[in-house]
Amino acid sequence: MQPFPIYNFSAGPAVLPESVLRTAQNEMLDYNGTGISVMTMSHRGDAFASILHHAEQDLRQLMNIPNNYKVLFLQGGASAQFSQIVLNFAHGFECVDAVVSGNWSEIAYKQMAKLTQTHIHLAADGKRDFQYKNVPPVASWDIHRDAAFVHFVINETVHGLQYRDVPQWSADLPPLICDMSSEILSRQVNVADFGVIYAGAQKNIGPAGATVVIIREDLLERCSSHVPDVWNYQSHVQRQGMYNTPATYPIYMAGLVFRWLQAQGGVESIQKINELKAKKLYDAIDQSGGFYQNDIYPDARSQMNVVFRTQDIELDEKFIQESVLNGLQLLRGYKAVGGMRASIYNAMPMAGVDALIEFMQDFQKRYG
Amino acid sequence: MQPFPIYNFSAGPAVLPESVLRTAQNEMLDYNGTGISVMTMSHRGDAFASILHHAEQDLRQLMNIPNNYKVLFLQGGASAQFSQIVLNFAHGFECVDAVVSGNWSEIAYKQMAKLTQTHIHLAADGKRDFQYKNVPPVASWDIHRDAAFVHFVINETVHGLQYRDVPQWSADLPPLICDMSSEILSRQVNVADFGVIYAGAQKNIGPAGATVVIIREDLLERCSSHVPDVWNYQSHVQRQGMYNTPATYPIYMAGLVFRWLQAQGGVESIQKINELKAKKLYDAIDQSGGFYQNDIYPDARSQMNVVFRTQDIELDEKFIQESVLNGLQLLRGYKAVGGMRASIYNAMPMAGVDALIEFMQDFQKRYG
């Protein structure tokens, strides 16, 4: 046993609520009196059908998803969605509009160009214009009216950037497709503004292995039968999410997380806590007299992934080493960016943020 | 608690060893003294790197995988592989040879034709020639010398068919690609006969969500950069299986299953047990005086999925209902086929087969 609580600041796979892990532990060998584990039950049996149904219903309730949207639990993470959205929706269109605002949207932009004849148009370039210190404002996006869709990543984990105002979207524009992996369920959004929302589970939903896709029904008509069924949204919808064996256990875990979030008061409540956690942490950075730095434009600072550094690479390394010894895990920044990164998703309790701030202040006293 | 042991005959997701589930249960909140769950650890940290490394090494040892083969743990199940093998390997070739010997190889044949210009040639048709009661003999396959590869499914779960002799393959022929999902690790195979072996985890490896791909190095040169990285074998190999976030928990579970199998004496030992389990069950069917029937050619009967039926659909239904009450779960046959199916993968103990046979005999006494 550790002598102090462990707080896990991993960017993903990320911390899960302890009560969720305890439920999973208790039910590991016997789910709900079935005598078998969720891992070993047929995905086509009644027990798993009920798990999947409730997971979907609870997600619909939490996000207030309109009835004309379908919900799927797929595999392959956001990386697979980069290609699936083009395969399914771009056929017959001259271009796709891609907003680049950080590491992941840049990867998406490059990957979308594969396996398609459709031109992938760079609708905004946050690297060129802001060196990834700010997000390109929505009003500045160069949208083609006849584009197949507009793609963007609403929160960038690597650079710690976020569209703090959720885009409001006109029905006259091409459908807006959003990678919401690293902030889904962290704040209220109006699903009706989006054509598609997708999210890898391993930040705010559950363990790695499941990918949530929320898709407006009319877009399903675009899914060509030339797209292999395993990557075809329409095929999955037509088979009620059972085209092939889904990642049953990650979906079960997602369902437990959804119920936990409902017990916290839902998205509206967790949003207030998330805002407070982020404010405390950015305040601690800003009030350190320059010892800790975050150079993201204030209006684009991520509420989920707080990046910071000292002015000394060796000191950053010392911070990371010592933080682990104090129960603060996985604070190392993304390799290409360096420094520190505290991911403070829904399941990170306020006490974890407080412990981090206390450690930061203590560290500064010793090395500042 | 149930008054009798539960035996789970699901075709997949399928039974896992109880000791494996207990280890997972014990480690749920604290893996190996890290203070965090395997589900919540970064896939790029030391702890998960070690889990992945040992899973690969143990699989290599169990299957005696030669050094010129790479091992990947991907997502999407066998269904995703149907398309990925064509995307990665068929470019520049005039045709692919597809053997159809049952439900899954038929689906593979149809899905492979999507997203490609390459002709998918039906090299053998077990439906036309044998009504899926026998597998087309390897010697009868109509192989094109210049095909990109030859694809087949070595065990068919739905129809209960298996290539009981593992094909031996000449280096002069196009590489042999095998869907081994429902029999991997159940018997010894010579990996060097195959260009690629792939397997969805949810039968003999672990829970749903991970897909093992074993791939001969020279084939990686064919993987075009036009294939999105998330579906590109070469990209995954170059990033040591970390191109994107893998399904960490299913991989951890697979690693536990591999260690369990080593403790059973490895594949050689489990093969003997599997042969005995299958023999007992087929003998019980054949010696029932026609009350139970299996009409697969004896040399093609699956050692993993034993299909059988009575001569009466209503009696089949009664069998399924009553078997559940006796702790024998998920014996219902695939919907399109009907009847019963007992999947007796590695983790099904002999006692489970004995209990099924005892129930079959008792049922026959009462209704025969």
Q: Tell me which chain B residues have a C-beta less than 8 angstroms from the C-beta of A210.
A: 209
CATH of B23-263, one of 3.30.420.250, 3.30.1330.10, 3.40.640.10, 3.20.20.140: 3.40.640.10
Residue range B265-367, CATH number: 3.90.1150.10
Q: Tell me which chain A residues have a C-beta less than 8 angstroms from the C-beta of B35.
A: 2, 6, 327, 329
A114 and B227 in contact by Cβ < 8 A? yes
In this predicted complex, what is the ipTM?
0.97
Angle at CA A45, nearest 5°, toward B14 and A252? Answer: 75
B227 and B175 Cβ atoms separated by less than 8 Å:
no
Instruction: Give me the amino acid identity at A3.
Output: P
Q: What is the mean pLDDT of residues B12-33?
A: 97
pLDDT computed for residue A227 by the predictor? 97
pLDDT computed for residue B3 by the predictor? 58
Q: Is B229 on the interface with A (CB under 8 A)?
A: yes
H-type alpha helices, A90-244: 103-112, 126-130, 233-238
Nearest residue to B210 (alpha-carbon basis) of B241, B187, B169: B241
Q: Is A240 on the interface with B (CB under 8 A)?
A: no
B73 and B55 Cβ atoms separated by less than 8 Å:
yes
Q: Per-residue pLDDT tens for B307-328?
A: 999 999 999 999 999 999 999 9
B247 and A200 in contact by Cβ < 8 A? no
Tokens 């990947």 correspond to: B72
> Looking at chain B, which residue has its C-alpha nearest residue A334?
B44
Instruction: Give me the amino acid identity at B226.
Output: H
In whole angstroms, give the CA distance from residue B299 to residue B294.
Answer: 12
Q: Tell me which chain B residues have a C-beta less than 8 angstroms from the C-beta of A206.
A: 39
In whole angstroms, give the CA distance from residue A21 to residue A9.
Answer: 17
Which residues of chain B form beta strands (DSSP E)?
7-8, 69-74, 95-100, 119-125, 150-153, 155-156, 161-162, 176-179, 196-200, 211-216, 305-308, 328-329, 340-343
Decide if A133 is catalytic.
Answer: no
Label residue B5 by pLDDT band (50, 70, 90).
Answer: confident
Decide if A203 is catalytic.
Answer: yes
pLDDT above 80 (res B4): no
What is the residue extent of each domain of chain A?
A: 23-263, 265-367
A40 and B16 in contact by Cβ < 8 A? yes
DSSP for residue B90 = -
pLDDT computed for residue B21 by the predictor? 98
In whole angstroms, give the CA distance from residue A164 to residue A162.
Answer: 5
In whole angstroms, give the CA distance from residue B32 to residue B338.
Answer: 45
Angle at CA A94, nearest 5°, toward A89 and A100? Answer: 75
Q: Which of B29, B115, B202 sits opposite A228 (nearest CB)?
A: B115
Cα A157 from chain centroid?
Answer: 8
Q: Is the pTM of this model over 0.90?
A: yes
Q: What is the mean pLDDT of residues B141-151?
A: 97
pLDDT above 80 (res B353): yes
Q: What is the mean pLDDT of residues B125-139?
A: 98
Q: Which two three-digit tokens encode residue B38? A: 């395997």
* SS3 category, A278: helix
pLDDT computed for residue B164 by the predictor? 96
Window 40-69 of B, Cβ < 8 Å to A: 40-43, 45
A226 and B8 in contact by Cβ < 8 A? no
Q: Per-residue pLDDT tens for B172-226?
A: 999 999 999 999 999 999 999 999 999 999 999 999 999 999 999 999 999 999 9
Block means of pLDDT (10 residues each) for chain A, 368 residues, are 79 96 98 94 95 98 98 98 97 97 98 95 98 97 97 98 95 97 98 98 97 98 95 97 96 98 98 98 98 97 98 97 95 94 98 98 96
Q: Which of B6, B228, B250 sits opposite A36 (nearest CB)?
A: B6
pLDDT computed for residue B1 by the predictor? 45
β-partners of residue A301 are: A161
pLDDT computed for residue A5 by the predictor? 85
Cα A127 from chain centroid?
Answer: 21
Phi/psi at B337 (5° precision): -110, -35
Tokens 């999902």 correspond to: B181
pLDDT above 90 (res B227): yes
Label residue B54 by pLDDT band (50, 70, 90).
Answer: very high
Q: Which of A203, A231, A277, A316 is catalytic?
A: A203
B243 and B287 Cβ atoms separated by less than 8 Å:
no
B4 and B326 Cβ atoms separated by less than 8 Å:
yes
What angle separates helix A248-263 from helix A266-286, to the nearest 10 degrees?
80
Q: Tell me which chain A residues have a C-beta less than 8 angstroms from the C-beta of B330.
A: 41-42, 45
Q: Which of A8, A24, A29 sits opposite B36 (nearest CB)?
A: A8
Cα A304 from chain centroid?
Answer: 9
Q: Left if phi > 0, otherwise alpha if psi is -120 to 50, otherwise beta: which for B212?
A: beta
Q: Is A208 on the interface with B (CB under 8 A)?
A: yes
A245 in a known ligand binding site: yes
Q: Per-residue pLDDT tens for B93-128?
A: 999 999 999 999 999 999 999 999 999 999 999 999
Residue B51: its H or E element: helix B46-63
A244 in a known ligand binding site: yes
pLDDT above 60 (res B2): no
Q: What percent of chain B has pLDDT over 90?
A: 97
Q: Left if phi > 0, otherwise alpha if psi is -120 to 50, otherwise beta: which for B250?
A: alpha
Residues of B comprising the binding site for L-glutamate? 44
Q: Which two three-digit tokens encode residue A170? A: 């006109």
